[in-house]
Structure 1
């Protein structure tokens, strides 16, 4: 077998068109060669199991970039992709064959073998190791950058119209690759021998079916091997005994960003957006590119004028001429944009690279493409909920009081439970209410693999998520894991899974004797109990478990908070805060005189026991004061005891840290209660000099967390002095904003306005004026 690698009129066999994957110049050259030769059949590098999917390439809704996805039926996580873009030579050949009614086939090692030989990896048969043929050729030509060499000799020259004989470039490239194969052998790709044997066998079969009028589009590295003289027996011997797995293939959308990585034939490209522009621009590509850049920067509120566009085009041309390049390349265009439109800054240039040089294009495949049932159900729900997958990261704010938004929330939570992380919860910007949810969405091609993997749990998103939750509940060995799962089930609306999860939760809670674990589990249960407010979820069973868990925490936490070192005390401090918040969320869900009253008793114990660490005693005192379960005088008494001369300064400083809090306290308590501030000031100024240095780091850690304005106000209050318990100048004016007690008349005056702002009722006539 002696295939042709030169002119179309050369006798002896098929025409081998060696290409660089994802190269617009190669794509244009392939198109020109096919138009010139008009072969009877076209063979393209790819898994032959995909032949049945090739007709979909002509479908009206098939928009590159797309990829062939092959995965093992029994292990969907073992998968491989074969990506194709508009400017991929293989895609151009497939589309040309479809438009001209010419048979087209894939030729390569079957995916059944390649998946059996390797663990799951990204990007098809070649893994990118070994020599870089383009790099070696570039170095021989005196280039230090393979990308720039390829652009100069292929991309830009092809854009200028190409040679008179469209097949001549392929003959020259084949000659170069033949020399490289002679010098480097397999080039560090030992698996290529098997792949090329499979290609030769399939090429022989195609010649029997279609004759010698065949065009083969494959990686240039393989051209010498396909033209080598071998026997059928030798090729079959290389493939004998190879392992196989059952595989399924389909088309999936791909993205330019994924093309920018080393994926698909080991041929990751750095600038897919730029290549797409070069391939799609009918004329004046530099001018069109600069116009795109100017539009992007103007949308980002940067002043870019038409004169800037003209100047950038002129500068790019001058740079190309000075550097001896046949046409303006990406490097020249980028340098011109930086100098003219970005004023020398790389900050706006990063936006150009992200949005245009790489790009956020997401392809599309028709609904008729094969897919696992779970993917079909997901596609249907995405259309119903108008939640289109997009490659660009975007924010989604949901109002759970609306049916559509609530359904979107359930879908996203169900997918997260299945390991399909299309959306990640984000901090809401507009509201902190429980009826608001914010998500950060971004669709990645790998999610098709995750969806296929999740298909083992069911054929619908709801059914699969339910089955996964039930399985996880039974297999989980930790209370925290089951608690988090219960929260996920409520968020995802998995009512059928809840009974199984609740039984597992009750069993784990009954067996777990570590009060720390119980305290860590309680906040998630409390959050879950609130979901019924806006999700119409029955949380009665969860409330019973939460009440029992709270009871055990109240019994076990005080002993667990005694005789702790500094690190353990800080951990217990965090747990006290979390449990207090959780107990507050129980209001209106479980009996009012249950956990809340018992927890208040726990805080009283913690605040008064000397064996409890100072940071915990101080925090318990503050929580009781905030809840109105401790009067100001009682709080002052506890503070006085904690800051008495008999207390070691480090212990007193820890009590202060727990009481006034760090960033969460904000220092406002001391700003608005001069009596407590005076107690702190009196204690601080009375610390002996020899122990002050040991106390200072603790105090600095506490007060440094306050906002600058709060620290400034506290400083002014201390400077103005004196506070309660000191001599006071009766002639001095009273401190603004402070008094001996609450002015109820002034406080009542703002109530009608607050009710109006909150929409609680309609104020009486004249009420607004009262405030």
Structure 2
């Protein structure tokens, strides 16, 4: 085992586990004891000039070194560092003492040129050497073994002892046949040995400290010639790269990183590294604070009991100190009452965490990144790792500028924010965004830098290029909408020219129908965002006219899938025409023409059933069908001469779940009766064919609607065609139910002083009668009643004159 005296004549090799707080503490102790003149760290040498930024007060880990190819920013690699990473501790130690820091790994110029080659992890222990050692020690969890032998280990007398022991263990692993370094590892270790030799020549053998992954320590001890190492590296491909610091997150540390050493619990490791003493007690106190903030009742007694339970579990399991497993078991049992739901919150917020690092403004960055940072500070829109929602009022200048920035970034492929449906408002002046900054977005910004040096210029150039390269008309209309949302006035002329050309050449009605809604939605933004949409409106009207002309023929001879797509297009165009028809001329005459197209489709014999039913429903919702006409269309569609499949498709189009058809059937029993009559008349063979379509239609209804429909059908519903009376009411009067309300009605009319008997005597005499609109026996409003139940009176009258005891009702 290597000790301080045995190290004479060679470099100090500190083999570590990346992102291990125990290794970080041991590295700090070993550097304090050895006081080397230079520190070599596993990492890309191109980052040597960035080390000075580690001393900047604005540099707060977790951060990462980002390397990307100059001409292809998407080809990139990260080297993340947390506060508890041994490499970061070594960098800070050297910077504070003025010692040089040099990265000694294979240059990123070679690494990124060989990115297509996957690392070989076929040997025993190469993929996960810590897991192999843990298995040899009888542990089934590598994290638990590492905690027991390293993280929970107290400071010893010899600061170099743990590195010697770990190096010997890795040496034993690499002696296993097939486990010695292969492929990329051989290249990296050859380059590392060359850098160690160069440092020894410059600073002396005893003045060099090396911080690297423990797996590489045996290879660095292995004696080879410099000529052999250079021969191994000769002829490697190379590309031009740029390096910088970027913010990182604890959540990203939980994944496999550039060091190939993702950890499951970065928040827990950060706590172990930062806690000065009593880490379990401090951790459980943080857990209690989090649960209290979420409204759970957690007292100091819960914390005390959880600490006792965690210590007891550790003693029973033979562990030197309660680890993450024991603390989580204690939290589940004591603070969460056995539930995993609040425990999942603890794992997400504390065990992993949402810490986002910061880098100083002086760090190298592409001009686009600097402009984005300036806008973020100006608009007070700070990037955060924790997901949050932001509501924007576009009538306010700052919120409108924030909206434009987020839309421009989305157009550039930088998905910092995603628009979500606003709660409690349907106005176009309000937007809701879900924001979350991920480290990979720094790469996206670097990639977008090829389009311009500012966010506005880059988004404009990208929109123009996308318009020219768009393949479908719908893509161009969607792009026009995004340009309006992003406030890219300079890009609109190019987009509109391409849009007009594509619209003139595209004869596919389906494409036109898909393109129109986005185009019409864009017309709304001129009101709130101050954008001139005159040219856009002319193109939209032209598209709408062409859809009206070509849609009838496009709805003939469709199969089931094509019919479903066409139904969606008809819905979208209907909404778009509604917006266009509400604008000033020349769009004023569009809506009547569109309704005429819908009527033609609803009555067309060759039009597929689903489209006919949907058109009939749209007409009825718009009030374009006379009373009883919807029932007539349904009766025709469900007649015995119709194919059962077509009839079922018509039903789906007319009362499909997404159209609120369930409530329509509940409140109009004539239509329900028609459906019931048709369904009971379908043959057994045809019923099997139409059942899946009907189940899909009615299963989309809410549970309460389905239950009400079932009750209506169980008691017989309504006849197929109601002869007289108000739709939704029974033919016969239920006198028992009517008499039950007489006492209350008497009080309302002032016929009694609260006693029910007097009111009953004066009101009973012929029952309660409601006159129907079509039988001449009633009129709208209050009228006079007679004992024979025939109401009469005028629509405007409000005089209740009981003659013979009949109660006046509302006639239709």
- TM score, norm. by length of structure 2: 0.86
Q: How does 1:61-460 map to 2 (within 5 A)?
A: 61-119=58-116, 130-157=126-153, 160=154, 162-184=155-177, 187=180, 189-212=182-205, 213-460=207-454
1:564 is aligned to 558
Alignment partner, residue 521 of structure 2: 527
Q: Check conservation: 1:666, 1:710, Cα contact below 8 A.
A: no
How much does 1:645 deviate?
3.8
For the pair 1:640 / 2:655, whether they are aligned, the reply is no
Q: Which is worse superposed, 524-533 or 179-188?
A: 179-188
Do the aligned partners of residues 16 and 543 (structure 1) sit closer, same or farther apart at CA in structure 2, a change above 3 Å counting?
same
Structure of greater relative contact order (alpha carbons < 8 Å, 6+ residues apart) = 1
Give the equivalent residue in structure 1 for 2:595.
Answer: 600
Among candidates 602, 606, 624, match of residue 629 of structure 1: 624
Could you tell me how far 1:406 is from its partner in structure 2? 1.4
**Is the CA contact (8 Å cut-off) linking 1:78 and 1:119 kept in structure 2?**
no
Aligned length: 738
Contact 1:8/1:37, CA 8 A, preserved across alignment: no
**Is the 1:5–1:16 Cα contact (8 Å) retained in structure 2?**
no
Q: CA shift at 1:664, angstroms?
A: 2.1
- 1:647 is displaced (CA, Å) by 3.1
Range with bigger deviation, 634-643 or 61-70: 634-643
- Shift of residue 331, structure 1, vs aligned partner: 1.4
Match of 2:751 in 1: none
Instruction: After TM superposition, give the deviation of residue 201 of structure 1 in Å.
Output: 1.8
Does the CA contact (< 8 Å) of 1:400 and 1:535 recur in 2? yes
Deviations 1:365-384 (A, max 9, x none): 11110101111111111111
The farther-off stretch of 433-442 and 554-563 is 433-442
Q: Which moved more, 1:126-135 or 1:47-56?
A: 126-135
Q: Distance in 2 between matches of 1:683 and 1:492?
A: 52
Cα distance in 2 for residues equivalent to 1:127 and 1:446: 31
Does the CA contact (< 8 Å) of 1:543 and 1:590 recur in 2?
no
Cα distance in structure 2, aligned partners of 1:549 and 1:399:
32
Larger radius of gyration: 2
Q: Deviations over 1:265-306 (max 9, x none)?
A: 111111111110000000000001111111222222222221
- Select which of 54, 64, 71 maps to 2:51: 54
Instruction: Tell me which residue corresponds to 2:787.
Output: none
Whole-angstrom distance in 2 between the partners of 1:561 and 1:389: 49
Deviation at 1:663? 2.9
Contact 1:374/1:451, CA 8 A, preserved across alignment: yes
Q: How does 1:531-610 map to 2 (within 5 A)?
A: 531-586=525-580, 587-588=582-583, 591-610=586-605
Worse-superposed segment, 633-642 or 82-91 = 633-642
1:608 Cα deviation after fit:
1.4
Determine helix, strand or coil for the equivalent of 1:611: coil
1:310, 1:509 → 2: CA distance? 72
The answer to whether the 8 Å contact 1:128/1:262 transfers is no
Distance 1:129 1:72 in 2: 32
- Quote the residue 1:756 is aligned against: none
Residues in 1 aligned to 2:432 and 2:368: alpha-carbon distance in whole angstroms: 25
Equivalent residues of 1:529, 1:589 under 8 A apart: no
Deviation, 1:547, is 1.1
* Deviation for aligned residue 1:211: 2.2
Q: How far 1:400 sits from its partner (Å)?
A: 1.6
Query: Structure 1 residue 688: deviation in Å?
Result: 6.2
- 1:71 Cα deviation (Å)? 0.6
Structure 1 residue 431: Cα displacement = 1.4
Deviations 1:575-626 (A, max 9, x none): 2111111111212166233432221121121011111122222221221222
CA distance in 2, matches of 1:184, 1:590: 83
Matched, 1:461 2:458: no
Distance 1:398 1:707 in 2: 33
Q: Give 1:764's aligned residue.
A: none
CA 1:201 to 1:634, structure 2 compared with 1: closer, same or farther past 3 Å? same
Equivalence for 1:768 = none
Is structure 2 residue 79 aligned with structure 1 residue 43? no
Question: Structure 1 residues 116, 645: CA separation in 2 closer, same or farther (over 3 Å shift)?
Answer: closer
Q: TM-score, normalised by structure 1?
A: 0.90
Contact 1:547 1:590 in 2 (8 A): no
